[in-house]
Amino acid sequence: MSGARLLARLDDLAQVGPIEGGGSCRLALTDADRDGRDLVITWMRDLGLEVVIDSVGNVVGTWNVGSGSAVMTGSHIDTVRTGGRYDGNLGVLAGIEVIETLMQAGLTPPRPLAVAFFTNEEGARFQPDMLGSLVFVGGMTVEEALDARAIDGPRLGDELRRIGYAGAHPCPSPSPHAFVELHIEQGPRLETDDIRFGSVTGVQGISWQEVTITGQSNHAGTTPMSLRHDPALVSARIVVFLRDLASRYGGDQVCTVGKIDLVPNLVNVVPRSATLTLDVRNTDESILRRAEAEIATFLDQVAGDEGVTIETRRLARFEPVEFDGRVVDLIEDAISHRGHSNMRLPSGAGHDAQMLARVCPTAMIFTQSHLGISHNPAEFTDPDDLVEGTDILLEVMWRLAHTDFDAAPGGNS
């Protein structure tokens, strides 16, 4: 395969909606997203792929149509406002490179190979994130998706029409034979352990809640400690409790408090209220539920101790997704076969693959992400890893095209 061609396409796409630092801003269904779509479709058409656009703007380019259900790869090309060069883009352009390489080698697989990019994966302009792949697999109706409102106002359906990507192909789409997505890790685990590639076992379940603590605002100098009902203290106890919970649970458990807002937020005033967010993730739904229950108990207790009231609001809740163990094994084998170190690990972030996992055998390949930095122009993966990851994707797709999945999908634990 041609590493130079892959890297050049990554460069070309990064220059659509360029931002300072070498990243891109292509919020879903903006003019920049349309320009990115047009460019990628040009490359698909140059290869003679059959390009299909569906009713929520997902784009699928297929080679060797008519020989059964396709082995599909792909990802997304929309970005967050401060997007890097690799998140999403790599998975799409690697897919094109895989097909072009096989074509040029004169190797025709026994099934169609397809490469897709899905609408609004990031969720930075429309909610929910992963909207396109969700509709693709029938998890959301087209009508509901078209009614989604952008943060800047317009309906998704109107924006699709405006940029010329309201396609005719119906959703849900027929299920692929299998799906595999190449993506940067967006976390530091591979790099930290000096492991070159990851075979991704699934996606962590996510529990987001907002906690609002209401106490009593008081003068910091004149109010004795015994008379305080201090939301800042309660929020601090919650942050410490979450860290302790993550330590006790171990494994893949992560807990984060990334947002705290005190009111009025002044040096000499005991706050009237504190609002904080709890982000709790685990690959095991039963453990995630146990964590949520422990947190609820703790909130009651700490509210009583300090004499404050606590209200919680659910912001998001996704059950963990388990990828197909047969595909995970196949990826692990391909990584080893090519002489690389491998780590089986769950994804901490959401990906289109988790939607495809509902309808066909699915898994993902991770490359390292330098320092785990993502959603930032400083996002970086070594070019050798980008190219070698694409070679692994080729081998996996080739082998998937030769694999029959007749039994029910297997777990991977």
Q: Decide whether 98 or 257 has the Cβ nearer to its own copies.
A: 257
Find the shortest distance in angstroms from Cβ 260 to its own copies. Answer: 5
Q: Which residues contact 42 (CB under 8 A, 6 or more apart)?
A: none
Find the shortest distance in angstroms from Cβ 78 to its own copies. Answer: 17
Residues paired with 273 in a beta bridge = 214, 263
Q: What one-letter code names the amino acid at 305? A: D
Q: Which residues contact 106 (CB under 8 A, 6 or more apart)?
A: none
Find the shortest distance in angstroms from Cβ 305 to its own copies. Answer: 11
Find the shortest distance in angstroms from Cβ 296 to its own copies. Answer: 18
Q: Decide whether 165 or 366 has the Cβ nearer to its own copies.
A: 366
Q: Decide whether 153 or 221 has the Cβ nearer to its own copies.
A: 221
Residue 28 and residue 372: Cα distance in Å, rounded? 24
Residue 364 and residue 200: Cα distance in Å, rounded? 5
Q: Decide whether 267 or 407 has the Cβ nearer to its own copies.
A: 267
The residue ranges that bind its own copies (CB under 8 A) are 185-189, 192, 204, 206, 208, 216, 218-225, 227, 230, 232-233, 235-240, 243, 246-247, 252-262, 265-271, 277, 279, 281, 315, 347-349, 371-372, 374-375
Structural tokens at position 404: 């029959």
Considering only CA atoms, give the Rg of the chain.
23
Find the shortest distance in angstroms from Cβ 241 to its own copies. Answer: 9
Q: Which residues contact 267 (CB under 8 A, 6 or more apart)?
A: 220
Cα three-residue angle 61-62-68, rounded to 5 degrees: 150
DSSP line for 271-297: -SEEEEEEEEEES-HHHHHHHHHHHHH
Q: Decide whether 103 or 232 has the Cβ nearer to its own copies.
A: 232
Place of tokens 């460019």: 39
Report the Cα 73 to chain-centroid distance in Å: 15
DSSP line for 318-350: E--EE--HHHHHHHHHHHHHTT--EEEEEESS-
Find the shortest distance in angstroms from Cβ 21 to its own copies. Answer: 15
Q: Decide whether 71 or 276 has the Cβ nearer to its own copies.
A: 276
Find the shortest distance in angstroms from Cβ 311 to its own copies. Answer: 17
Q: Decide whether 200 or 394 has the Cβ nearer to its own copies.
A: 200
Find the shortest distance in angstroms from Cβ 193 to its own copies. Answer: 10
Residues paired with 345 in a beta bridge = 200
Q: Decide whether 164 or 251 has the Cβ nearer to its own copies.
A: 251
Is the separation of the CB atoms in 126 and 141 below 8 Å? no
